[in-house]
Structure 1
């Protein structure tokens, strides 16, 4: 009997590469193919949406600057129709540009010029966290949340939440560790798997997550900022104090 392929094996994963520069597209395609991925290429935004709808990729590598329809708009439209992990590639290195991509719904970003090997590692990292393993962690039920790692679904008070891959990972990490404070450095290592990186990535994902789980994201009561330290998911458990008694500031 042939062994069943592991859910995260590259050979089972299809990547949509959206890049209008043929030389870059060719190099990246070759590196991904060597790593065992199946690769489709789109040279503009409208083609990318069409290919994504028909080929159902497991991950999209999306250039920020595209003819016809730019990467930010492609990302927005993809988020309306499918929950596919997106890595945005940008030649614009400003923090505002990176944050725009993340706020639009990208799970990760890479800045040009980049190493194709690094990009392949980022692809593997995102897929590893977005595709269930054979033996996933057990479900979590806490503070009105019901999270199932096997199906990568989460309910809040019985209502399903539409989360990106990284938002799900971040929420899952925090739900398993209620009332503990984590710095942005802690979170980027634990959730993103990076030893170093742009900490604004964490800030943006926290903001996006608050918009989906908080009644008033401007004054969060679940995902709190501990001033000068980091973030904490507040859940009142036996032997713990409510956040209102902790004397800590909630700052966005």
Structure 2
């Protein structure tokens, strides 16, 4: 999985950069370092990395802005680092499109494990390549695309996998913890609110729900993809 993969680290602490580079290179990754947000964006465009490790508190351009610009450019696996542990920062990072979030201080082995988990779930080659077709909604896993009223909707891999999983088992209720384990993996240690953030983004992108199907919140439990084709 790591063979030849290029990782951009945007972190203003050279010691952290060097430590991460040491561990990443042992795993077979090619590492690019940058020490402020402005340089990080420049190297992102120059080097076209496969993965980004991004600190939030950066000189010149902060990590929030860097994350937003990268997400506006393309959907690349992105792990955010910060010295803050407040839930606000975690939720904001996830809303901007970060795939995961690690609070300093951390064990470099944890970063490697989180990276591998992200890469597993953002890999478009899922076990199933079947299409799911509902009125005005087509989920094409072979091409990794979603069509709403024949319009191509851009969903990042984790959002698409979550939608596909729910839609492939219509009318079945899943808890947030079950969804975390199914989509993010048993080794994911993030907050269950990750599910709420991603469901919210999916709903916003799909637009108004039809009477035939909808993403339903089951209060106090979780979510289901509700289907009523008899309407």
Q: TM-score, normalising length from structure 1?
A: 0.83
Q: Distance in 2 between matches of 1:145 and 1:88?
A: 33
Q: Distance in 2 between matches of 1:137 and 1:169?
A: 11
Report the counterpart of residue 123 of structure 1 in structure 2: 115
Shift of 1:110: 1.0
Matches within 5 A, 1:1-252: 9-133=1-125, 136-143=127-134, 144-195=136-187, 196-215=189-208, 222-236=214-228
Q: Distance in 2 between matches of 1:131 and 1:193?
A: 13
Coordinate RMSD, CA, aligned? 1.9
Mean CA deviation greater in 135-144 or 46-55: 135-144
Q: Distance in 1 between matches of 2:75 and 2:16?
A: 26
Return 5+ residue gaps in structure 2 as ranges. none
**1:171-224 deviation per Cα after TM superposition (whole angstroms, max 9, x unaligned):** 2222222221111110111111145431122221111222111327xxxx6211
Greater share of strand:
2
Q: Distance in 1 between matches of 2:141 and 2:104?
A: 33
Instruction: Tell me the SS of whatever aligns to 1:231.
Output: strand
Mean CA deviation greater in 158-167 or 179-188: 158-167
Shift of 1:22: 0.4
Q: Distance in 2 between matches of 1:194 and 1:66?
A: 32
Instruction: Tell me the SS of whatever aligns to 1:80.
Output: helix
Instruction: Tell me the SS of whatever aligns to 1:12.
Output: coil
**1:18-53 deviation per Cα after TM superposition (whole angstroms, max 9, x unaligned):** 111000011111111111111111211111212112
Shift of 1:231: 0.6
Q: TM-score, normalising length from structure 2?
A: 0.90
Shift of 1:54: 2.2
Contact 2:170 2:227 in 1 (8 A): yes
Change over 3 Å in CA distance of 1:160–1:187 after alignment to 2: same
Contact 1:46 1:69 in 2 (8 A): yes
Return 5+ residue gaps in structure 1 as ranges. 1-8, 243-252
Instruction: Tell me the SS of whatever aligns to 1:26.
Output: helix
Q: Distance in 2 between matches of 1:71 and 1:115?
A: 21
The number of residues matched between the two structures is: 226
